[in-house]
Amino acid sequence: MTTPSLKKNPETDLDSDRAAWLPLTHEPACRCRERSEIDVENGHQVSRRRLLAMPMGAGTLAALGAAATEAAMMPSASAAEPVPQTPEAALAALMAGNQRYVGARLGVCSENLPKALRETETKQAPFAAVLSCADSRVPVELVFDQGVGQVFVARVAGNIAAPEMIASLEYGVAVLGTRVIVVLGHGNCGAVSATMARKAAPGQISSLYAFIRPAADRAGGDVDKAIRINAELQAHLLAQSSPVLAGAIAAKRLAIAPAYYDVRSGKVTLLVA
């Protein structure tokens, strides 16, 4: 297996039009909360166009994190409330859900499971997708406090954008209508650690290394830094290598966001290259 080609330097040339990192809000603990688009400057609702134009620097991300915190504490919303329909609202829902997870206020625990199973028996309409590592310490639906049919999850060791993962995520976007893809790296990732150590491995395990090597080479021996860079590179690869995903980003129907999951605290942090 050859190393995937990246035409640009993902550390310096991430295309903001094709790889949008757009945070925001959802519902709370054991009670669903209101979903909304938040004005991070004044706490008011903000138009989708203005939000898409916001620069995603560290300061903006911090403000958006504060907005997600506020959203996670909002009063209960109607159970009939529609799922997020925009990339920014979808990412907001995930981030607010993670705030509930960190605070041990899971709303999914009160989900009407028989009803959810009936409603998703013959169809699915997940509003978000997550490219996650296969690590058992990263329970994606719980991490984002989402129930049956809400998140389309593609899992592979090292959260790599291998062809099969790209195809799966293309299906999520083109057929199921997902609005955001989160590429979720996590602390103490064994796949990244093994790649950096150049460890011999049985079977097909070492086939993962080619995808992770670019991040390992940029990390200066720092495993945690490599994990974060890897999430960024895989997000960039998704946005640049798939015409399906690139077209959805250009049409403002999709955002792709790299993120880091702390396996000790449970917190998800959005990353900006």
pLDDT at 27: 36
Specify the long-range contacts of residues 153-156, CB closer than 8 Å, at least 24 apart.
Answer: 153/129, 154/129, 154/130, 155/131, 156/131, 156/208
The range of the structural domain enclosing residue 75 comes to: 48-270
C-beta neighbour count of 121 within 10 angstroms: 9
Report the pLDDT value the prediction gives residue 111, as an integer from 0 to 100. Answer: 86
pLDDT for the residue 144:
98
Task: Tell me, yes or no, whether 27 lies in a domain.
Answer: no
Classify residue 2: in a domain, yes or no. Answer: no
Q: Is the pLDDT assigned to residue 177 strictly greater than 70?
A: yes
User: How does residue 253 score in pLDDT terms, banded at 50, 70 and 90?
Assistant: very high
CATH number of the structural domain spanning residue 203: 3.40.1050.10
Lowest model confidence (mean pLDDT) among 11-25, 111-125, 151-165, 198-212: 11-25
What pLDDT score was predicted for residue 83?
83
Place of tokens 């449970």: 266
Residue 19 has pLDDT above 80, yes or no: no
- Comparing 123 with 78, the larger pLDDT belongs to 123
Q: Is 23 part of a structural domain of the chain?
A: no
DSSP-derived 3-state class of residue 50: helix
Helix %, strand %, coil % for the chain, to 5? 40, 10, 50
Q: What is the pTM of this model?
A: 0.74
Residue 24 domain flag: no
Residue 273, pLDDT score: 52
Answer whether residue 38 is part of any domain: no
Q: What integer pLDDT is reported at residue 14 of this predicted model?
A: 39
pLDDT interval class at 44 (50, 70, 90): very low
Looking at the 3D structure of the chain, how many domains does it have?
A: 1
Q: Is residue 5 part of a domain?
A: no
Q: State the average pLDDT for the chain.
A: 79
| Lowest-confidence pick of 61-65, 132-136, 178-182 | 61-65
Residue 3 lies inside a defined structural domain of this protein:
no
Helix (H) or strand (E) holding 255: strand 255-261
Higher pLDDT, 73 or 227: 227
CB 68 within 8 A of CB 96: yes
What percent of the chain stands above pLDDT 70?
A: 70
Q: What is the pLDDT of residues 91-136, one digit of tens each?
A: 999 999 999 999 999 998 888 999 999 999 999 999 999 999 999 9
More confident: 44 or 67? 67
